[in-house]
Amino acid sequence: MDNILLAIDPVAFSIGPLSVRWYGIIIVTGIIIAYFVAQAEGKKRGLPEDFFGDLLLWAVPISILCARLYYVIMKWDYYGANPEKIIEIWNGGIAIHGALIGAITTAYVFCRVKKVSFLKVADIAAPSILIGQILGRWGNFMNQEAYGGPVSREFLESLFLPDWIIEQMYIHDLGTYVHPTFLYESLWNLVGLIILLLFRKANLQRGEIFFSYLIWYSIGRFFIEAMRTDSLYLIGDLRSAQVVSVTLIIVGFASIFYRRWKVRPVVRYLDE
């Protein structure tokens, strides 16, 4: 009886035939909070008041499209044989790395058009990206997805998790409890958010908050991905998320070192 009471319905409510899922509510909430945080900081840093609002109008749909496209490409054996399933995004199947590629590319082009420094905008937006990721993983929790391998209930209790999380980590189709990798990544990103906010006060060189985001997120994702059971694979046992993570770590460190060595004059985060 207790398990039934603790069970979480992924559908928040329905309006006629339309079902509104907690996943969508959480994602939208994350976008809204991230927007207001970036908007407030952007205003301090001299960006136009409508800058992030206009950017989101392009970045959100393009990011969703790229997230789906990334997933479909990685699962082409299935989608190539079932092309009608490609548009069924409501059944799951989006990849955060695809979304990041779409968002970063869109922001870069948008900044070029608006004649604003991309790295300035990326530094401002980096904590907001983490806010979206922190909340987004709880959408995975509601859907019972993005989890890890089997564990015992005793293991989950040893993490001092509340019962409503522990019970959601019981996957009936598998008949076992699983690693709450959604929680590991959400907490990792929360620590990263605190670090990036502190980096603002440290007044790092322009671009270094963004590159630090790439490094921090990718280190955590690399190790957490190894626990997951739903990974996308490139070749054999080579997980695409781990390959992308290693690439982003290298890009992040290389960019910081290169810019500190080569770029003059030095522009810092708090500079107008």
Report the binding-site residues: 137
The H-assigned helical ranges of 75-151 are 76-81, 96-114, 118-143
Spell out the alpha helix ranges (H) of the chain. Answer: 2-6, 22-44, 51-74, 76-81, 96-114, 118-143, 153-158, 163-168, 181-202, 208-225, 240-262
Kindly give, in sequence order, each residue whose CB lies less than 8 Å from that of residue 97, ignoring residues fewer than 6 positions away. 70, 240, 241, 244
* Residues ≥6 apart with Cβ < 8 Å to 240: 74, 97, 231, 232, 233, 234
Residue 13: in which H helix or E strand, if any? strand 11-15
DSSP-derived 3-state class of residue 231: coil
> Taking a C-beta distance cutoff of 8 angstroms, is the pair 230, 173 a contact?
no
Residue with tokens 């959400």: 186
DSSP structural state of residue 20 = E
* Alpha-carbon gap, residue 31 to 27, rounded angstroms: 6
CA distances from 150 to 153, 176, 182, 204 (A): 10, 6, 14, 42
Assess contact for 141 and 132: CB atoms under 8 A. Answer: no
Taking the chain, what is the end-to-end CA distance rounded to the nearest angstrom?
60
